[in-house]
Amino acid sequence: MFAAPVNSRVLSFEDARRVVEEQAALIRSRKVSPGDTELVDLLSAAGRVLCEPVTADRDLPPFPRSTRDGYAVRSADLSQLPARLDVIGEIKAGEKLDRIPARINAGQTASIMTGAPVPAGADAVVMVEYSSPPHSQAGHQIEITQSVVAGENIVACGAEARAGVRLLDCGIRLNAAAVALAASVGKSRLQVYKRPRVAVLTTGDEIVDVDATPGPTQIRNSNSYSLAAQIRREGGEALLLPVAPDELQALRRLIEEGLKADLLLITGGVSMGRYDLVEQALAELHAEFFFTGARIQPGRPVVFGKCGAGFIAHEKSATCFFGLPGNPVSTMVTFELFARPVLQALAGESARNLIFLHARLKKDIRVKTGLKRFLPAILSGEFEHSEVELVAWQGSGDIAASARANCYLVVPADRERIPAGEWVAVMQR
Ligand code: AMP
Ligand code: MG
């Protein structure tokens, strides 16, 4: 077998993101087959990606709903204040239809509770705070001291959604509000996408597993575990392959194994060292490389491509792979920036932008220009008092510094110095 030379293709951060988004869009355009989805109970649906539309089974709200405890009135009756009205009934939430006054006529009112249906004739609810005595029974009179406009404190029938209207689209990741909405329209089970399977292949002769006792020059595998945590957070299932040695044949065999998954993440072995063999192994498998580096720090040697069509002996389209640089912080950052959008697409999720917060820089930053930087930092304070400062670190191998950080501070590629006090972009993690 020959080792096809890999042409270097180093892109700006923005161009690399565009390439990733293009591939994510291709993945999203694939046809969904029934085997790609499953039915889950609403209680375990949070975090999953919806693959059926959810529609309103009836008008929301299904009746004109009072939003206050008070009195259902005809607003025109309150043109002169105080107004005295006859109380003709009491309507609590869930009241049976035959116990609700058929109509509120001029000069009449009914006491009403939050969530109860407003009877015909009434066009507003006066809060109980503006009545005296506050809790009058049917057969008594009540004095109202505040006027209301028509519609006040009432949500009209169907104002939130009409029956049959689509409330949730395919491709959304279900959060608490979406789950609540599904419950409100009677969906106790939801059709969601199956979790994509992501193979994780760590490389390096120096790497031993977490339970092994490392020799004096060996280190424990931490990247597989950070990646597994990141994969799970995006709704994927991580499949950890055995650690690959820095040896071409064994590496190639494990890459082939990993390409059977929906996505392959390789860590380490993509730099310029003599034993960085990942690109060569992939080239031998006739991989297509979209880029072999991005002008970022940490994570410059990141590799993205596709492999498998016509070569790997299993029935599926080519699998996307990432070669993530082995330094632990580089692995984590490049996952966030590049692998995550592809994983989200494989999970069935609609495109999502990277979200940056803004915070005031606590201390000056000086860096060399040319690379967009995502540096471990600590974000503190709230609202307009948000502040951020870099953590002291020993470079992208410093896992301890990374664990002290709670965000990445983003330094644009053209900035050499950012003075304290400037608002800077911060990426949460
Ligand atoms: P590489 O990208 O293979 O040149 O590795 C860069 C650095 O990251 C080296 O110091 C490696 O020992 C370290 N490294 C590589 N893989 C891992 C891993 N799975 N866990 C922790 N450190 C790693
Ligand atoms: Mg290595």
Lookup: tokens for 392: 């002291």
* Residue with CA at minimum distance from ligand 1 atom 12: 206
Mutate to test the pocket of ligand 1, among 327, 330, 398, 399 (most ligand atoms within 8 A of CB): 327
What span, in angstroms and rounded, lies between the C-alpha atoms of 220 and 153?
62
Mutate to test the pocket of ligand 1, among 202, 208, 210, 219 (most ligand atoms within 8 A of CB): 219
What span, in angstroms and rounded, lies between the C-alpha atoms of 344 and 16?
17
Per residue in 273-322, pLDDT (tens digit) is: 999 999 999 999 999 999 999 999 999 999 999 998 555 545 567 999 99
Atom number in ligand 1 closest to CA 246:
3
- Please determine, for residue 3, whether its predicted confidence score (pLDDT) is greater than 70: no
343: Cα separation from own chain's centroid = 12
Whole-model pTM? 0.92
* Residue with CA at minimum distance from ligand 1 atom 5: 326
Q: For residue 53, give the amino acid letter.
A: P
Identify the nearest ligand to the CA of 323 by its number: 1
Ligand 1-lining residues (CB < 6 angstroms): 202, 204, 206-207, 219, 221-224, 267-269, 271, 273, 276, 325-328, 397
Per residue in 36-48, pLDDT (tens digit) is: 999 999 999 999 9
Are the beta carbons of 284 and 221 closer than 8 angstroms?
Answer: no
The pLDDT value recorded for residue 155 is: 98
What span, in angstroms and rounded, lies between the C-alpha atoms of 89 and 375?
66
21 CB neighbour count, 10 Å cutoff: 15
Mutate to test the pocket of ligand 1, among 267, 272, 330, 396 (most ligand atoms within 8 A of CB): 267
What span, in angstroms and rounded, lies between the C-alpha atoms of 8 and 293?
8
Identify the nearest ligand to the CA of 217 by its number: 1
Angle (CA) 263-265-268 rounded to 5° is 165
